[in-house]
Amino acid sequence: MLTFDMTEKQEKILQAALQLFAREGFHATSTSKVAKKAGVSEGLIFRHFGNKEGLLQAILEEGENRLKSLFVDIVMEPNPKEVIRKTIEMTDKIDVSDYDFWKLQFKLKWELEISGDKKMEPLNMALTNAFRKLNYESPELEAQLLILFIDGLGSAVLKGSKLNSDQMIQLLLKKYNI
Amino acid sequence: MLTFDMTEKQEKILQAALQLFAREGFHATSTSKVAKKAGVSEGLIFRHFGNKEGLLQAILEEGENRLKSLFVDIVMEPNPKEVIRKTIEMTDKIDVSDYDFWKLQFKLKWELEISGDKKMEPLNMALTNAFRKLNYESPELEAQLLILFIDGLGSAVLKGSKLNSDQMIQLLLKKYNI
DNA sequence: TAGATATAAGTAAGTACTCACATAAAAATT
DNA sequence: AATTTTTATGTGAGTACTTACTTATATCTA
């Protein structure tokens, strides 16, 4: 990621914080734990990020970008059926090494009350347009419904549910005649 | 609820804890905060519930029962189309005064890693059966998909999303030809 | 040598939890 | 029915420890 002007230790801190926040939770993770895991003095966290909240923000900003880069391929797609297909297959595109990162995003929606509604807006628009082109009766609703689904599927996968996501994706594609 | 052999103060504690855990989170809520809100000495919490975890368990046990009573009407239903309809309309049945309670259930799935998969098993069975009777190709998958939807819908409603759940329910009913 | 990067050793406030003690309710004994 | 004994319910001050955050001091690097 484009975190170029960053010390080695700064990155270590972010990495450790991401893992701990994602696995244990924000409030359950102390700054001293983060420092220990990062192999760094606790004070350094506050030098670089101001406070614990600032540390979280630094992680979340990167999240904004990652989400956008996931969406850009979908939003640019002209073929409406392809928009829907790519959306449905989105969860499959998530790299296992990024699980901590996405888990944190979901977790924070509940632990702190970060909505995530706004972040979905571009996808919502793209889907609404796609459904409109395909002459669906309520394109806006259809878009929200599909977003609801990928949110649920993502959440299930990240929580380690025994649900077979490949089969689920196939089933959905069929339902949308793709 | 059937918490008959309970002191007034005991119920006050549970009530305060439920509200705080649901709105602020488990780790963000201290036992002293709970005691203060309940108008009770902090020690009493530990007298009655052993520790903070025990306090949470007491609240969650009630949850088990509430979930069952939500399901029983669906599970007993013989008409498969009615099973699906009742499932889809489930979120509508949730009383606003119970929002804290359900919010806590969703929140805990992420804050502590409480799966909730098992609790859904009866509903999963009922739906699988219903879809089988209606000759759907993959009844198990269809059941899981519908559960994914209502989970997402409930989560959206509780998080105060601007999504119109009535319209969403209508759309879903139409998709299942009900 | 000046400024950024880092640390170790603090701080005050908060954390979950305990304990000695008081009172109210229930049971047992007279 | 009156009295004692036991138990359940409650308190408030204290425990050891952790928390987020600060500050004085050292060590790099340009």
Give the model confidence (pLDDT) of A115-161 as tens digits: 778 889 999 999 999 999 999 999 999 999 999 999 999 999 999 88
pLDDT for residue B45: 97
Q: What's the CATH number where B77 sits?
A: 1.10.357.10
Residue A52 domain flag: yes
The confidence band for A63, taking pLDDT boundaries of 50, 70 and 90, is: confident
Query: Which range marks the domain in which residue B126 is found?
Result: 8-175
Residue B112 domain flag: yes
Count how many domains chain A has: 1
pLDDT for residue B4: 56
Q: Give the residue-averaged pLDDT of A163-171.
A: 95
Residues B50-80: tens digit of each pLDDT: 999 999 999 998 888 888 888 999 999 999 9
B168 and A27 within 8 Å at the Cβ level: the answer is no
CB A46 under 7 Å to nucleic chain D: yes
B145 and A172 within 8 Å at the Cβ level: the answer is yes
Write the secondary structure of chain A as one string of H (helix), E (strand) and C (coil): CCCCCCCHHHHHHHHHHHHHHHHHCCCCCCHHHHHHHHCCCHHHHHHHHCCHHHHHHHHHHHHHHHHHHHHHHHHHCCCHHHHHHHHHCHHHHCCHHHHHHHHHHHHHHHHCCCCCCHHHHHHHHHHHHHHHHCCCCCHHHHHHHHHHHHHHHHHHHHCCCCCCHHHHHHHHHHHCCC
CB A53 under 7 Å to nucleic chain D: yes
Residue B1 domain flag: no
Whether pLDDT at B90 is above 50 = yes
Residue A3 domain flag: no
Residue A2 domain flag: no
